[in-house]
């Protein structure tokens, strides 16, 4: 085999170095990710420029790119907190969050990849304990669950918005009370419900009775007015009208004028 020309060895070496250089200089950012540039000889983490977006990038081989997920993420928290009267309440919550895209360099420089455990989770626990401490177990168990969810979200958001974290939502998945307290609350709620049903029945019965009284009073008033308006003269006129109508019927009859009570005609016979 012929020996390689002297000029061929340097070319091969240069090609190998070029391949290594390109391999170390090329980076691909995946979907839902962004890259923070670290310049080894240029001041470290780049914070005054937007992060590298999705796709293929060429960088200097002595620099580095730290990749972060920038789409919405989820973290689950289970924690204990004390109610306003000192009872231990267990909360289960889920937080939806993502890093602030334009501040990704600052987030990496100050918090690093562990920003969730360093910042977000402690903020959620602190906010939850603060909010739960304002309510009684009865309020937490029944009417105030939506309220504490909003308050925990608002308080956590206030803490983390200066830490380059975008908090989208906090959802309270469950509120667990001590069993004795829970049973007592359920008994109380049941008694209140039964009391409301009983009051409803009383009100309904009272309205029905009032309706009957009003109807009876109306009939009594109508009868009283009618009785007061029926004089002897009116009754005689009505009797005469009825007699005249009856006399016009085809049936045979005998009419005796003035022989009835009050001088009314008396009708005899009916064939």
Q: Is the pLDDT of residue 134 over 80?
A: yes
In a domain, 42, yes or no: yes
Integer angstrom CA distances of residue 122 from 75, 77, 128, 133, 199 = 12, 10, 10, 17, 48
Which pTM value belongs to this model? 0.61
In a domain, 27, yes or no: yes
How confident is the model at residue 74, as a pLDDT?
96
Helix or strand holding residue 146 (H, E): helix 145-160
How confident is the model at residue 102, as a pLDDT?
93
In a domain, 2, yes or no: no
In a domain, 3, yes or no: no
Domain of 216? 179-229
Q: CATH number for the domain including 123?
A: 3.30.479.30
At residue 221 the predicted structure's pLDDT band, cuts being 50, 70 and 90, is confident
In a domain, 215, yes or no: yes
Write the pLDDT tens digit of every residue in 20-33.
Answer: 656 667 888 999 99
In whole angstroms, what is the distance from residue 105 CA to residue 110 CA? 9
Shared domain for 97 and 146, answered yes or no, is yes
Helix (H) and strand (E) counts in the chain: 8, 10
Domain count, the chain: 4
Shared domain for 37 and 19, answered yes or no, is yes
Shared domain for 64 and 93, answered yes or no, is no
Considering only residues 224 and 53, tell me which one the structure prediction assigns the higher pLDDT. 53
Phi, psi of 30, rounded to the nearest 5 degrees: -80, 175
Write the pLDDT tens digit of every residue in 50-63.
Answer: 999 999 888 888 88
Q: Is the pLDDT of residue 4 over 60?
A: no
């Amino acid at each position: 085999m012929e020996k390689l020309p002297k000029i061929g060895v340097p070319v091969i070496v240069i090609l190998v170095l070029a391949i290594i250089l390109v391999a170390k200089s090329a980076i691909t950012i995946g979907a839902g990710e962004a890259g923070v540039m670290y310049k080894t000889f240029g001041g470290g983490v780049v914070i005054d420029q937007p992060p590298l977006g999705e796709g293929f990038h060429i960088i200097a081989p002595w620099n580095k790119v730290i990749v972060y997920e920038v789409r919405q993420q989820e973290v689950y928290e289970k924690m204990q907190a004390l109610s306003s009267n000192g009872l231990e309440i267990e909360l289960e919550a889920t937080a939806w969050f993502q890093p602030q895209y334009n501040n990704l360099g600052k987030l990496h420089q100050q918090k690093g990849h562990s920003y969730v455990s360093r910042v977000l989770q402690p903020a959620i626990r602190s906010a939850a304990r603060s909010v739960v401490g304002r309510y009684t177990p009865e309020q937490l168990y029944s009417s105030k669950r939506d309220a504490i969810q909003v308050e925990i979200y608002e308080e956590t958001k206030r803490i983390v918005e200066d830490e380059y974290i975008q908090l989208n939502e906090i959802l309270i998945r469950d509120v667990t009370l001590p069993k004795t307290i829970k049973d007592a609350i359920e008994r109380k709620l049941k008694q209140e419900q039964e009391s409301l049903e009983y009051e409803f029945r009383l009100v309904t019965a009272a309205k029905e009775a009032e309706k009957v009284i009003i109807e009876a009073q109306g009939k009594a008033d109508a009868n009283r007015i009618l009785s007061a308006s029926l004089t002897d003269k009116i009754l005689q006129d009505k009797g005469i009208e009825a007699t005249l109508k009856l006399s016009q019927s085809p049936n045979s009859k005998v009419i005796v004028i003035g022989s009835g009570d009050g001088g009314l005609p008396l009708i005899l016979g009916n064939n």
